[in-house]
């Protein structure tokens, strides 16, 4: 696991810093999208969450794949309450051997094995990352530092 850095609030810095684990906050790494493979349309979801609930820091993995041609939706979810199967590094996050998001020179590679489905998707960086809201700072209801996120 990589070192944890302080949650930086409005002065969040770079996207590289935001990939890292932060102290005392919930966070997530996720990608959603659609794929056209030989005329078949699919949608996918990759989400790894580190939740902050009192003194607990559980990890939640959610994977999904929808095949629009067959109208089948596949979903997988798993929990790690102690984080022993989760790794977070400078270039990748992984939930054991089940799922991984890995940064490469050209983009991000997502691999997932949901038991009844799986995927290996390479996403290019396209237009690059964009900060949302007020330079990435999103108020979550009330104007308190603990009620905001970087997005």
Tens of pLDDT along 50-70?
887 777 788 999 999 999 999
Helices within the chain (DSSP H only): 15-19
* 123/107 Cα distance (integer angstroms): 5
pLDDT for 80 equals: 94
Q: What is the mean pLDDT of the chain?
A: 81
Tens digit of each residue's pLDDT (9 = 90 or more) over 100-144? 999 888 889 999 999 999 999 999 887 766 666 666 666 666 666
**Where residue 1 falls among pLDDT bands split at 50, 70, 90?**
very low
Q: Where are the alpha helices (DSSP H) in 10-137?
A: 15-19
Task: Report the predicted TM-score, pTM, of the whole model to 2 decimal places.
Answer: 0.78
Phi, psi of 140 (to 5 degrees): -110, 65
pLDDT at position 82 is 85
pLDDT at 97: 96
Cα distance between residue 51 and residue 122, in whole Å: 27
Residue 28 backbone phi and psi in degrees, to 5: -155, 155
Q: Which element (helix H / strand E) includes 120?
A: strand 118-124
* Mean pLDDT on 66-93: 92
- Return all residues near 131 (Cβ < 8 A) that are at least 6 apart: 151
Is the pLDDT confidence value at 20 over 90? no
Q: Which of 7-21, 26-40, 91-105 has the lowest mean pLDDT?
A: 7-21
- Residue 61 CA to residue 78 CA, distance in Å, equals 5
pLDDT band of 2, cuts 50, 70, 90: very low
């Amino acid at each position: 696991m990589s070192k944890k850095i302080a949650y930086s609030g409005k002065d969040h810095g770079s996207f590289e810093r935001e990939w890292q684990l932060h102290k005392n906050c919930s966070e997530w790494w996720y990608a959603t999208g659609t794929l056209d493979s030989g005329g078949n349309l699919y949608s996918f979801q990759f989400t790894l969450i580190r939740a902050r609930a009192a003194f607990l820091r559980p990890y939640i993995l959610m994977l999904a794949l929808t095949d629009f041609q067959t109208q089948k939706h596949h979903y997988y979810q798993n929990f790690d309450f102690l984080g022993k199967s989760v790794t977070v590094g400078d270039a990748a996050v992984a939930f054991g051997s089940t799922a991984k998001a890995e940064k490469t020179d050209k983009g991000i590679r997502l691999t997932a094995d949901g038991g009844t489905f799986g995927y290996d998707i390479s996403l290019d960086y396209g237009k690059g990352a964009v900060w949302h809201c007020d330079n990435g700072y999103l108020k979550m209801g009330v104007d308190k530092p603990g009620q905001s996120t970087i997005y």
